[in-house]
Amino acid sequence: MLNRLAFTELKLGNNHNVMQSFARALAQSPGELLATVMLARAKLSQSDFTGAEEILKKACVAAPKSADAHRMLGEFYPAQNRIADTKTEFRRALAINPNSRPTLIDIAGLELAAGRKQQAKKGFNN
């Protein structure tokens, strides 16, 4: 219900209300990944990198067995040129779900960006 309210606020362009609605949704369901992603994106749109990172880290704590939570946190770090943190979170995601195709593709993308084409190819072929 709160996610729907937040999406309505988003469509209306009420950024402040969007953040409040997603924050309420997370308070009720701390491991809810859609609200986490949307709140983090809303914070990023306001250049609140610290706030976005905190939201994503809380999701990892709230849903410790969620490979997706760690992958999302890992996807946040490259924008801040924190590649070591990215790799750490991707490894955590793979430890939880070794067959996570999105995580394997993300890792392959990192390898490709680093010029390691053979390693990247392995990730894309898994």
Q: Write the DSSP assignment of 57-106 as a string of letters.
A: HHHHHHSTT-HHHHHHHHHHGGGGT-HHHHHHHHHHHHHH-TT-HHHHHH
The DSSP-derived string for 20-56 is: HHHHHHHHH-TT-HHHHHHHHHHHHHTT-HHHHHHHH
Indicate whether 51 pLDDT > 70.
yes
Q: What pLDDT score does 2 carry?
A: 45
Percent pLDDT > 90 in the chain is 29
The DSSP-derived string for 101-116 is: HHHHHHHHHHHHHTT-
Q: What pLDDT score does 122 carry?
A: 73
Q: What pLDDT score does 7 carry?
A: 53
User: Which of the 8 DSSP states describes residue 8?
Assistant: H
Average pLDDT over residues 57-62: 89
CATH of 65-126 among 1.25.40.10, 3.40.140.10, 3.90.1150.10, 3.40.190.10: 1.25.40.10
Instruction: Report how far residue 75's alpha carbon sits from residue 8's, in angstroms, rounded to the nearest whole number.
Output: 26
User: Which of the 8 DSSP states describes residue 1?
Assistant: -
The two domains 1-63 and 65-126 share their CATH topology (first three levels equal): yes
* Domain covering 1-63, topology: 1.25.40
Q: What pLDDT score does 95 carry?
A: 96
Q: What pLDDT score does 1 carry?
A: 45
Q: What pLDDT score does 4 carry?
A: 58
Band (pLDDT 50/70/90 cuts) for residue 126 is: low
Q: Tell me the domain boundaries of the chain.
A: 1-63, 65-126
